Structures are given as structure tokens and as C-alpha cells.
Copies of this chain bind each other. A is one copy, B any other.
């Protein structure tokens, strides 16, 4: 048989997370305390994070050991499969070889559980009994609810209102796992009430939902905050994806010329890409690394590299990152997880260093790619993941035009079974593709530093 699936034994679940900060040619700019505007110290973050995660956020140590209990939990679905997309290659009639790492076999259907279980573990170890968080597409809220259930932690999820209304199946998943869901902006926080006073019809944003979740975590000693993307420790936890992929590509006797991931806050992209960037930096490899973002929320391709808050209310430390301004309100596209005003500071830094390319696509070409992929490979991708699929297909078509047999690897970060309303809308005549207008950027909301 022609191999299409590369599986690793349980013993190949990584024992350590890979910290790309150890290999950076230039260090990142530090986060700043929002009051003093001085580099933030650990104690600035322990009000909402356990010290163990704050240490992971700040360290430049190359390998961080994964706790046994987390590895044991990973074993339910990890190592995840890596596929050769032979049927898609045939449909495209391309000389390129297309591989994809599939994170949809996790019980929640996406990569988010890789960090959710780690964060819930460290919080439980620190004696925390409640976690508050935000969710956009719903992938993260689902994952943290299950992780909280596993670790005996009560999870409260502020869900961006547009997703809350668009995605009842996501809410049902969160509630099935025992989590609690509030539509954001809500009247349960000062931040939410302020937004609602100014705009009662606000459909929310990740930046608003983060403000609400952080406010709750700061006001209660039993409660911490958990973030599903953006921060260094989240990128770190996701590196199990890339480490497994390195071994699986070796099984396939191949190595990628191009590595692709969709990028909202940056976590699934970083999870796959950082291991390959590390090889570029330390082993002389020359793999192209491509981050794909929605044209309506193009923080890498259109945003500026500047200090900004992670949330709308300005409760978080200021981080140097690619941003559209924390007051930016993205259009209500279906890929709800890719609607964040900023980009992971680590991903942004690598972009500035020229280690990463970025490209932006509208919704319709992404869903067209998702349907083509589903018909060939069977898996219906999550709306977010469709961005990576679009880019992978376009790279394969470029290879065809150029007559080159390159090796393409992308991250299929999740399946779309819980997001089929997006496909219904697509089948019923296409989705709106919001043209991005530079005037929509909220750069005047950037803080002075």
C-alpha cells in the first residue's frame, strides 16, 4: 500500500516542550508593566497566573520538561497522525508532495487541548479551583472546560457574543464538559458594563472578552486566568506538534520546503512551525515558514510592531507585538479564532527577524479550499484551518506552474464538525468578504511607552 498515514508509538510523545527563545538570534522585547511602563517582573503576573507558568513565560531555557501527568493525558490522542494528502495531490495534479499534521483527533477536535491540560495542571498544583477565560471560535473554551473537568477546576468562559450566537454547538460542548459560558460583553464585569453602556449592541471581540476574564481573575483569590494563545508559555506547550512532525517527516523520508499554519493569536502556527524554525536557525535548514491570516484581521501583514495591551480595557501588561490597535473591531467572520487585534509577541518577533512570511486571505477562497480538501481527504477542516489549507493548495499549484516537486507541510489544527453553520452559509451563496480598510485600524489606541 502507498503510505498515507505516519503514526508514532506512545513512547514518542515528547518529554519536553521546545522553547525557541533559546535559539533566537536577537532577544524579544520584554513585556511592560501597564502602570510603571518598566519591564514586567514575575510578581506582576502572579495575580492571575501560577508562578510555574510565569516562569515558563519568562524563561529562555531551551527544553522544559513535560509533567508525567500531562504526558499521560496527552496519550489519549498523541502522538497525533501526520498524513500525506495523496488524494488532494492527485486532484490538484501537482508534482508537490503535500503533508498535513492533524490535531483534530483530540477529544475536543483541535490542538487547543495541548496547552489547556498543561495550564489546568499547573493551576491545580498551585491550589487554584476556578479558571476564567475567553473564547472566540469556541475551540479554546471547549478545551479548557474539558481540562478543568480533568483537573477538578471550575471553568468560566467569556464567549465573544457573535460566536455565542453563531455557534450553539460550541456552547453545548463547553456545558457538556461542565464549564460555564457567558456571552461577552456581559454585565458581570466592569469592563463588560462599560462596553455595553457605550454600545448596547456590541457583538464583542476577543479583546473585550479577555478584559472580562482577567477582571474576574484579579478580583478573586481562588481564580486564575488562562489564555489559549498569544503568550510565550502557550506557544511553548504547542511545540509537541512540531516535535512529533519532525519525527514523522523522517519516517516519510522527507523534509518540508514549506511549513504552513493559520495564525490568529499564533498558537497552532507556532506549535508546528517553531521546531522547523529552530532547525533553520541551528541546523542550516532553509524551510520557508508561512503564517496565514484572514484578510479582515491582518495583524501580521497590515498591523504595526508596537507595544500594545492584550485586551481592550488595558488590564494586561503591554506586549511588543504586531497589532491593529487594541480597540480594533474585526468583522464577524466565521473563523472566530482568527479575530484578535494582536499577534503572539514571539511570532511577531520572528516575523520582524525575517524568519516567517505572512499572507492574508478572504473567507470565500478559504472555504473553497476547505471543501476541495474535504472532498479529497474526507476531513472537513475547521474554518480557521481552512486558511492553512488555502495556502497549502496555492503553494502546490505554484509548484505545478513552476514544474517543481516541493514538499509542503501544513497544520490541520482542527475539524469543522462543530462549525458547520459556516459551511451552510458558504453553500448558500458565499460568505461576505470584508475588504480591510487601513482606516479601520485603531492605532490611536496604542499606549504611549
Contact = CB atoms under 8 A, between A and B. Distances in A.
Given A1-B71, A75-B5, A176 B379 contact: no
| Number of identical protomers | 2
Contacts of A5: 10, 75-76
Interface string A253-297: 000000000000000000000000000000000000000000000
Contacts of A171: 424
A120 to B, nearest CB: 13
Interface in A1-17: 1-5, 7, 9-10
A1 B176 contact: no
Contact of A107 (B4, B68, B71, B379): B379
A175 B427 contact: yes
Interface string A160-203: 00000000110111011110000000000000000000000000
A417 interface: yes
B421 A177 contact: no
A409 interface: no
B172 A420 contact: yes
Interface stretch (A25-33, A355-363, A369-377): A369-377
A176 B374 contact: yes
A2 B177 CA distance: 24
A90 to B, nearest CB: 11
Contact of A374 (B169, B177, B371): B177
Contacts of A150: 87, 378
B169 A72 contact: no
A284 B374 CA distance: 45
A307 interface: no
A105 interface: yes
B72 A1 contact: yes
Nearest to A105: B105
A82 interface: no
A171 B428 CA distance: 12
Contacts of A83: 76
Nearest to A145: B375
A75 B81 CA distance: 12
A108 B418 CA distance: 13
A298 interface: no
A98 interface: no
A177 B423 CA distance: 11
A10 to B, nearest CB: 7
A206 interface: no
Nearest to A371: B176
Contacts of A234: none
A420 B423 contact: no
A420 B424 CA distance: 16
Contact of A172 (B3, B87, B108, B427): B427
B168 A378 contact: no
A303 interface: no
A378 B146 contact: yes
B169 A68 contact: no
A337 interface: no
Contact of A417 (B169, B379, B423): B169
Contacts of A3: 10, 75
A7 B76 CA distance: 11
Going nearest first, the 3 A-B pairs with the smallest beta carbon separation are: A107-B378, A417-B417, A169-B420
Given A76-B83, A107-B380, 15 more contacts: A1-B71, A3-B10, A4-B72, A4-B75, A5-B76, A107-B377, A107-B378, A107-B379, A169-B169, A169-B417, A169-B420, A169-B421, A173-B420, A177-B374, A418-B420
15 contacts: A1-B75, A2-B72, A7-B10, A87-B150, A106-B378, A107-B378, A107-B379, A146-B378, A149-B375, A168-B424, A169-B169, A172-B423, A173-B380, A176-B423, A177-B375
